[in-house]
Structure 1
Amino acid sequence: RAKVINGKLRLDKPRGIKSWFDIPTYEALKMEEVKIASIFRERGHYYAALSYEEEAGLKAKTGKKTAIDVNVGHFNYTKGKINVLPAKLQKLYKRIKHYQRILAKKRRANGKLAGRSNNYLQVRTKLQRDYRKVADIQNDLLQKFTTELVNNYDQIVIENLNVKQMMMTHVASKGMQRSLFGKFKQILTYKCEWYGKKLILADKTYPSTQRCANCGYVKTGADKITLQGNRKHGTKHNEYVCYECGYSNDRDDNAVLNLLALTK
């Protein structure tokens, strides 16, 4: 029976409570009535997440197109590169790892009784706080980047990666999880639908990394580029050298050009 009064959320006044006030929000609520509310607790505080519908409207056509090559830690596109694991996130992950070790040590030493310790609860609260900070930073970064894409480009090409299968490998699974490949695709998909932009998904077998953007030659076998580069030809992991036409470029920039070739 919650209501929205003057842009603020008003809940029922509990019995026996004299002073009662509307719940403050980050911005004035645009809805007239509450349809769905999710209540969650974090660090001893309660939060209400409200959902509402709003007409997005089509974005103006720009006549431009771009492609995004997603990598662990950064996304490359025609305008440059965006870092999805900035220094502040790396610092938070180190702190999270430190708190996880402390909690694990307390559980090994005290078993089920560890959860009753005030010191244990304090460390767990700090861990939850840092997890929330990480989620907020990453969400803010992806939302701003995807909004920039739909504002500036009419056609956007991305790789249709099989994230679940890639996560099964232990080489870069943690980095892929932190880079949020799946969430990036999800956000970009619904924003393109909202604003009338065209999203092109490259086939999972499309060799964007191994293909030469100049002549179309595709590397196979011992000539392929790996995370360690190419031992046969002595090239680094970020170097692309075509053995047919002699074309050379940064590996990620070459992949962007190959993805861009899928636009019409």
Structure 2
Amino acid sequence: PNNLKALYKRIKHYQRLLARKRVANGKKATQANNYVKTRAKLQRDYRKVASIQHDIVQKFTTMLVNNYDRIAIEDLAVKQMQMSHVASKGLHRSMFGYFKQVLKYKCEWYGKELILADRYYPSTQRCSQCGHVKIGADKVGLDGNKKHGTKHNEYICYECGAVMERDENAVRNLLALL
């Protein structure tokens, strides 16, 4: 949402201000009135962001549970996915762990079935048409496949020749678990 983007921008601004004050004044900075005011504004914006994120997750999980009897998600190893500081920020903001936790308790509450695919289930490496699983140098990573020159978002099966979006292939494989 746009309001989140504005809040992230403001948080970045306040963090920069506080860092500058600490560099200039050292330990004395934390006792200055302007520093305390700026820190209060930063904390206010952090609370707003958390509130918006929690609201989005609650509404989305409620919609999922109300519309579907069986829900399948992957149990992702988020720590290993945090490759760069840019990707890690996005992964942290997406709140995978909180999403899974909320979806779990809502499925139990409403009597729906939640299927968790094992974190080692090769949903992005298995062909949804023929079942061939890519291994070794044939695997498709977040940066694509160097050996075959494919992009990260395309899936090409080297057995049957199927060509599709990587996410679409993963969804089909997760649906096969149902």
TM-score between the two structures when normalised by the length of structure 2? 0.91
Matched residue pairs, number? 177
2:174 is aligned with 1:253: no
Do the aligned partners of residues 169 and 234 (structure 1) sit closer, same or farther apart at CA in structure 2, a change above 3 Å counting? closer
1:261 aligned counterpart, secondary structure: helix
2:18 equivalent to 1:103: yes
Checking the alignment, whether the CA contact within 8 Å between 1:154 and 1:197 is kept in structure 2 is yes
Q: Which residue of 2 aligns with 1:136?
A: 51
Which of 25, 37, 42 is matched with 1:127 structurally?
Answer: 42
In structure 1, list runs of 5 or more residues that go unmatched: 1-85
**TM-aligned CA deviation for residue 169 of structure 1:** 4.5
Query: Percent identical across equivalent pairs?
Result: 69
1:1-264 correspondence to structure 2 within 5 Å: 86-163=1-78, 165-166=79-80, 169-170=83-84, 172-263=87-178
Contact 1:167 1:177 in 2 (8 A): no
Cα distance between partner residues in 1 of 2:129 and 2:4: 37
For residues 91 and 254 of structure 1, the distance between their equivalents in structure 2, rounded to whole angstroms, comes to 35
CA contact (8 A) 1:158 1:201 kept: yes
More strand by share: 1
Normalising by structure 1, report the TM-score.
Answer: 0.63
C-alpha distance in structure 1 between counterparts of 2:81 and 2:134, whole Å: 24
Residue 167 of structure 1 and its aligned partner are, at CA, apart by: 6.4
| Inter-partner Cα distance in structure 1 for 2:27 and 2:88 | 31
Q: CA deviation at 1:94?
A: 2.5
Structure 2: gaps (5+ residues):
none
Q: How many Å separate the matches in 1 of 2:81 and 2:135?
A: 24
Q: For 1:235 and 1:134, how far apart are their aligned partners in 2?
A: 37
RMSD of Structure 2 on Structure 1 (CA): 1.7
Q: Which amino acid aligns with 2:31?
A: R
Q: Aligned equivalents of 1:151 and 1:242: distance in 2?
A: 36
More helix by share: 2
